[in-house]
Structure 1
Amino acid sequence: MHDTSSEGAPSHAGPGTILVPARVVEGRGAVTMLRVVAALAALQTVVQGLLAGMLLGGDVDSIDPHGFNAYVFELLVFLQVVAAVLLWRRNRWLTWPLKATIALLVLAFTQTLLGLEGSLAAHVALGVGLCAMETALVLRAFALRVNPAG
């Protein structure tokens, strides 16, 4: 288990568990942008799931909102990449946000293509995966420790 809430000497949480200290990141604005946009994108995946469920349940009128929201999700993921680049420029050692957001963007485009092609099984499975990945990104983004001075 890793301690992401402190910096300094490793602390002990119990027998045999050593918590490794987290590094403090610079760039409060970039972290805030990443957190906000990732939270909105995660919420968007839930909306997409609801619209997909309506569509699969026979509500054909939900296809247009589902398609529109797909493009909104792609825009939000693109903004996540921008935030991750800004964060990486201040913290060259911090690469996971950039790698994760680029992977999400590629998968979001793939998801849209699968939906347009009518590959229902792959489209639904990837949609569930995107929801999980986006949720994980939000949790990790909110676990970042930001330097109070920067």
Structure 2
Amino acid sequence: MHDASSRGEPSLARTGTAVMTTRVVNGRGAITLLRVVSAVACLQTLVQGLLAGMLLNGDVNSIDPHGFNAYVFELLVFLQVAAAVLVWRSNRWLTWPLKAAIGILVATFTQTALGLTSSLAAHVTLGLALCAMQAVFVMRAFTLRADRPARLA
């Protein structure tokens, strides 16, 4: 979890052999927006999984909420890309949020297409992958630490 473009010191939290790194970046508002939107999108993937499980259990009435929720998730991921652009504009060296958000957006559009064509095996598999990708994105977004503005004396 350490990349060459990171600024900041590694934290004491360790996961296996990887060291979580806190990155000091500019743009407190953009970072907050990225965190909030990505966390809500992550929760949305869990709701999607619940609705999908209900559908696979035979509750055909859950197909409409699952479809509607898919479009809500697409909107949230699009907002996540916009927030990642704002973070990137303030920190040109920090490219992973934008690259990851665009990758998740492409996977989301692919997921919707697979669902509309009833490719169940691929749709379920990509849905699980999207949930994992979004969870990792949220965890990494919370490693960003905003630079404190200078205090006036």
Q: TM-score, normalised by structure 1?
A: 0.87
What amino acid is aligned across from residue 109 of structure 2 in structure 1?
F
Query: What is the CA–CA distance in structure 2 between the aligned matches of 1:60 and 1:34, rounded to whole Å?
Result: 35
Residue 62 of structure 1 corresponds to 62
Q: Residue 145 of structure 1 aligns to a residue in which SS? A: strand
Instruction: Note the C-alpha offset of 1:123.
Output: 0.1
Q: Residue 24 of structure 1 aligns to a residue in which SS? A: strand
Residue 105 of structure 1 corresponds to 105
Q: Which runs of 5+ in 1 are unaligned?
A: none
2:135 matches 1:135: yes
Q: Residue 53 of structure 1 aligns to a residue in which SS? A: helix
How does 1:1-150 map onto structure 2 within 5 Å? 7=8, 22-149=22-149
Q: Which runs of 4+ in 1 moved over 2 A?
A: 10-13, 19-23
Instruction: Note the C-alpha offset of 1:145.
Output: 1.4
Query: What is the CA–CA distance in structure 1 between the aligned matches of 2:109 and 2:20, rounded to whole Å?
Result: 36
Instruction: Note the C-alpha offset of 1:60.
Output: 0.2
Deviations 1:2-31 (A, max 9, x none): 5xxx946x8999xxx9x7975410000110
Q: TM-score, normalised by structure 2?
A: 0.85
Greater strand content: 2
| 2:23–2:143 contact (8 Å) kept in structure 1 | no
